[in-house]
Structure 1
Amino acid sequence: MSIMTAKTTGYRLQEVREQGQWDQFVASQPGGHLLQSWYWGELKATAGWFPLRLGLWDGHRLIAGAQILRKSAPRVPLRLGHLAYLPKGPVLAWEQPELCSIFFAQMHRYLRKQGALALRMEPEIDHESEQGELVIRRLTELSFHPTRSVQPLRTILLNITPSEETLLAQMKEKWRYNVRLAGRKGVTIRVATSLEDIQSWYTLMQTTGERDQFGIHTLEYYQRAWQLFAPQGALRLLLAEREGQLLAGIFVSLFARQAIYMYGASSNEQRQLMPNYLLQWEAIRWAREQGAHEYDFWGIPETEGEEEAMAGVYRFKRGWGGRVVQFVGGYEYVYNPFLMKFAHRYL
């Protein structure tokens, strides 16, 4: 469908500037995700991204939306060239081909005018589902091309609507044993209440990053995440302690009836007390009490081979009884192929 035809339908694309209106829409839609929430955009703004929330309206009704994060090369204004990145979105009824055509036609026009060199996105869609097949077909029809994913391509999702007894029964026996072992050995779980708690946890995060050889954000980034989400009831930092010693801690978010295990850190000491097992169980219990339907363990290796660097992480997450999901992956629509050749090295 052409842009001219899209104009005549009565649909209009414009920026959404009210946080409450945006989050209410995203959270109420199938597939609405934390990374499309208002405060996620505000968090990424502390890391050099510029959030843009575009909504497609049918009269006074918001019917589709996309939070787009924009970044340019150092000291280059956005209008002179930037990458537009759409994580875990858009929020869109993919089964309506005309709506998809209108939405992307208007969004492409808007982003081009703003100086975007390309739009990269990663829909929160199961590759193996019927919807996954539909989305891949739709994106191909709309001239998107597969590209490297930024977010994890695979994860483990646990349905947490059953009773606690059922959830415990679904775990591997060793996992149930370790949850109870931690409690018997005096490990306790509490909720972080101050920036000082975040700083103490960050010391463990540095230890974990060095031990497992992965990069971490700055202390200020995690503190900002806690400041933005925790007052809304959308995030908790759970801390595992024994006799006043901090052993481990995990950030768990809650948005659109989905909890996500976002960040985890643990000490090199007292690992035999199994604090990480009790932490995950208490996080699942909290999410369930808050009305969440699903717990996302957020990222596993792309294969199940023992040679994978994160094979141990996969085994830990797999033991809780969830199902492995692979998403459709990254897709890109390039507006300026010539400049994108140079932009890739910076963006």
Structure 2
Amino acid sequence: MTLPVRFATDAEIANWDNLVIANPDHGSMYQAESFAIAKAIGGWTPRHLIFNEDNTEAAPRVAGLFIERTIPTLGKLWYSPTGPGFGSADQVAAIVPSLKEFAASNGVFLVKLESELIYSEQADQTLRSAGLVKVDNVQPISSTVMIDLTPDIDTILAEMPQKGRYAIRRAARDGVTVAEAPLTEENMRTMYTLLGATGDDAGFMIRTYDYYVSFWNEYANRDQGKMFFAYVDGDVVAGAYTGWMGFKAWYKDGASIRDRKAYGASHALQWHIIEWHKARGQAVSYDMMGCPPADQLKDPSHHLHGIGMFKTSLSPIVIDRVGTYDLIIDAKKTQKWNKFGYRIAGKLNRMFRKEVYF
């Protein structure tokens, strides 16, 4: 069965976030129009696609954001961050033939798909059987810690692991306070400095200041994001940016100082954000955005080990998703990209844009 795919109309793009929320997965912040605009700052061209016009149960209508880059001598590369938002592996498999034909007709040599479907051997086999190739995950969020926001706030705290509850209460005793941080130049610079220090300590590269400013402001201007700071004696000791769409909320960016006087500050910060989302009354889940896979949580050699320990002290719910798959349009060009192109492009991006490629 070949299912239709086309570019979205101007009217659909103007209503993009509502279309994304209506997807079977109920939307992702990386499929939002705010993300499209932020990625354009980094040199990507947004492409808004509409799948399955008839919108049947087997083939639901889905709005999928793809971002595009033209690779010299190879053509165009498409990547759908945490998308497209189908509800099953069978639905993703069903769009492969039409997407392959559509991408080829638009000069694309490789499409990277990154559905948020929950991992299972059956789902993985379904995607592979459709012709998709499992590759290294682009985003470090294919495994994540999830907090259920449907219980009342006292129940959420009571069901939190003991370490998290202790840190929250200890922070309160030690005078840690939390408040919303308006997106002023001073506050954004403070947050960026915290991110840089955390990145240096953890050994990962952060993006440019302009990228974060664009991201934070785009979501905030659409009432989809806020920044919060934790303080000790009036000094900022931790910061976090949270986003939301429809019934889903996320922990996007976070960082803290490495000072013991601020013990529990990051826990207090997250607890304040959880309380804020509960008071807002719309989100039913809070995605902590990234941790080691469930079977590697206790492996100290994993590069996300420390992050995983922090996040699982707030919730024991770890979800493994299927991650990233390649839809190869042109095998020879994809081979060149994988062997040489990605390495060269990544190096140039770090040199001149001062950030990671994707």
TM-score bracket for this pair, using the shorter chain length: 0.7 to 0.9
CA distance in 2 between partners of 1:148 and 1:95 (Å): 18
Q: What's the CA shift for 1:64?
A: 2.0
CA distance in 2 between partners of 1:207 and 1:96 (Å): 43
Correspondence 1:288 to 2:281: no
SS at match of 1:124: coil
CA distance in 2 between partners of 1:49 and 1:138 (Å): 30
The aligned residue for residue 214 of structure 1 is 204
The aligned residue for residue 278 of structure 1 is 268
Residue number among 146, 158, 164 corresponding to 1:157 in the alignment: 146
Correspondence 1:166 to 2:166: no
SS at match of 1:321: coil
Q: What's the CA shift for 1:309?
A: 3.3
Q: What percentage of aligned pairs have identical amino acids? A: 25
Correspondence 1:47 to 2:38: no
CA distance in 2 between partners of 1:94 and 1:172 (Å): 31
The aligned residue for residue 15 of structure 1 is 8
Deviations 1:86-106 (A, max 9, x none): 121113354776x963x4333
Task: Write the letter of the residue equivalent to 1:294.
Answer: S
Residue number among 111, 115, 124 corresponding to 1:119 in the alignment: 111
Q: 1:346 to 1:289 in 2, by over 3 A?
A: farther
SS at match of 2:61: strand
Task: Write the letter of the residue equivalent to 2:232.
Answer: R
Deviations 1:182-205 (A, max 9, x none): 222222212121132111111111
Deviations 1:181-228 (A, max 9, x none): 222222221212113211111111111111121111111111111110
Aligned residues: 330
Deviations 1:155-174 (A, max 9, x none): 11111110111111111223
Q: Is the 8 A contact 1:56 1:63 kept in 2?
A: yes
Task: Write the letter of the residue equivalent to 2:20.
Answer: V
Deviations 1:221-248 (A, max 9, x none): 1111111001222111111112321111
Correspondence 1:35 to 2:33: no
Q: Which runs of 5+ in 1 are unaligned?
A: none
Task: Write the letter of the residue equivalent to 1:53.
Answer: H
CA distance in 1 between partners of 2:304 and 2:35 (Å): 26
Moved more, 116-125 or 188-197: 188-197
**Could you list the runs of 4 or more consecutive aligned residues of structure 1 that deviate by over 4 angstroms after TM superposition?**
59-62
Q: Is the 8 A contact 1:257 1:294 kept in 2?
A: yes
Q: Is the 8 A contact 1:64 1:93 kept in 2?
A: no
CA distance in 2 between partners of 1:262 and 1:94 (Å): 25
Moved more, 232-241 or 179-188: 179-188
Residue number among 219, 238, 245 corresponding to 1:255 in the alignment: 245
Q: Is the 8 A contact 1:16 1:54 kept in 2?
A: no
Q: Is the 8 A contact 1:16 1:55 kept in 2?
A: no
The aligned residue for residue 105 of structure 1 is 97
Name the TM-score, length of structure 1 as normaliser. Answer: 0.87
CA distance in 2 between partners of 1:219 and 1:325 (Å): 31
Q: What's the CA shift for 1:57?
A: 5.3
Correspondence 1:332 to 2:333: no
Name the TM-score, length of structure 2 as normaliser. Answer: 0.84
Q: What's the CA shift for 1:66?
A: 1.6
Q: What's the CA shift for 1:343?
A: 1.9
Task: Write the letter of the residue equivalent to 2:6.
Answer: L
Q: How does 1:183-202 map to 2 (within 5 A)?
A: 183-193=172-182, 194-202=184-192
SS at match of 1:72: strand
Q: Is the 8 A contact 1:34 1:256 kept in 2?
A: no
Moved more, 109-118 or 58-67: 58-67
Q: Is the 8 A contact 2:113 2:324 kept in 1?
A: yes
Q: Is the 8 A contact 1:247 1:275 kept in 2?
A: yes
Correspondence 1:238 to 2:228: yes
Moved more, 176-185 or 116-125: 176-185
CA distance in 2 between partners of 1:163 and 1:321 (Å): 15
CA distance in 1 between partners of 2:133 and 2:284 (Å): 33
Q: Which runs of 5+ in 2 are unaligned?
A: 343-358
Q: Is the 8 A contact 1:178 1:274 kept in 2?
A: yes
CA distance in 2 between partners of 1:95 and 1:264 (Å): 32
Task: Write the letter of the residue equivalent to 1:180.
Answer: R
Q: Is the 8 A contact 2:148 2:284 kept in 1?
A: yes
